[in-house]
Structure 1
Amino acid sequence: MGLRKVLPPGQKPLQADNSLFIVNIVLLLILFFLATGQLMNSRDVPVLLSKTTELDIESLPKPLLLVGADGALTLDGTDLSSQEAAETLAQLSLVHVLIEGEAPATRLIDLMARPELEKVEVRLVTIHYRGEGA
């Protein structure tokens, strides 16, 4: 017992502070995402949309809902008012939608949000433009 009183009290072993490693990793990730984000946004990639000069409506799938430039709806060549569109589209189980490439995306989103299309399978029809030489 006398020997214990002579020795200084024992020290706890030092533990490494792991929070420093976590902070370093977070800072490296932030740096990485800032660098790659600037690289991705620095390039300007042009997008060329397809264009159709002559459209044969008869070769497209039926029933075809054509969305005009002004938002007017035409089903298989028949113009539809808003009320007629609601009644007619609610009776269909499948409809093919053709909308011009330059139309705002909100026009298509608004069309898809209509309640009468809730239970209708909608397929978006696209037309491939081959150019004048093909």
Structure 2
Amino acid sequence: MSLSLPRRPALARLDPALAIVNIVLLLIFFFLGAGQPARPPAELQLAQTRLLPAAVLPSPVLELHGAERWLLDDQPILPELLPAALALHDGPLHVMIDRQAPASLLLDLLRHPGLEGRDLRLVTRPNGPAP
């Protein structure tokens, strides 16, 4: 006598490709949304510099006009002499650079060995008439 047991129903197997397609689609939507450039506000105005006398600015102010053309409190200074000149001043060094200057100029200043441990502050001049 033979007993016949009912057969188990075959398990439905999900295709792993379906999960991969879902993940890829989600990543595509994420990068499409995250990659959209942000629109600047309509009233965006960039900072501008104007000539002002050094007496109006905080001291010491280092103005960068080029790789070798620096002014410390309206006096020309060589980059190599900057640490010696700053030894006379306590407090932060105010740095002013034109917005059209290359960023490498500011980065070179930040890497200057004489400025290690020194508090640096970027300053701008108001966009009005000189007092």
TM-score (norm: length of structure 1): 0.69
1:55 and 2:52 matched: yes
1:63-82 CA deviation, whole Å, 9 max, x = no partner?
Answer: 11111246411111222113
Gaps of 5+ in 1: none
Match of 1:34 among 32, 35, 40: 32
Identity, % of aligned positions: 37
One-letter amino acid of the structure 1 residue matched with residue 70 of structure 2: L
Q: What is the number of residues matched between the two proteins? A: 127
* Residues 83 and 69 (structure 1), Cα distance of their counterparts in 2 relative to 1, 3 Å cut: closer
Match of 2:65 among 57, 64, 68: 68
Gaps of 5+ in 2: none
* Residues 23 and 115 (structure 1), Cα distance of their counterparts in 2 relative to 1, 3 Å cut: farther
RMSD across aligned C-alpha pairs, in angstroms?
3.4
8 Å contact kept, 1:73–1:85: no
Trace 1:79-90 onto structure 2 (pairs within 5 A).
79-89=76-86
8 Å contact kept, 1:66–1:97: yes
Q: Which residue does 1:78 correspond to in 2?
A: 75
1:77-122 CA deviation, whole Å, 9 max, x = no partner?
Answer: 2221132124334776520001112111111111111122121110
Q: Which residue does 2:101 correspond to in 1?
A: 103
One-letter amino acid of the structure 2 residue matched with residue 74 of structure 1: L
TM-score (norm: length of structure 2): 0.70
Higher relative contact order (CA 8 A, sep 6+): 2
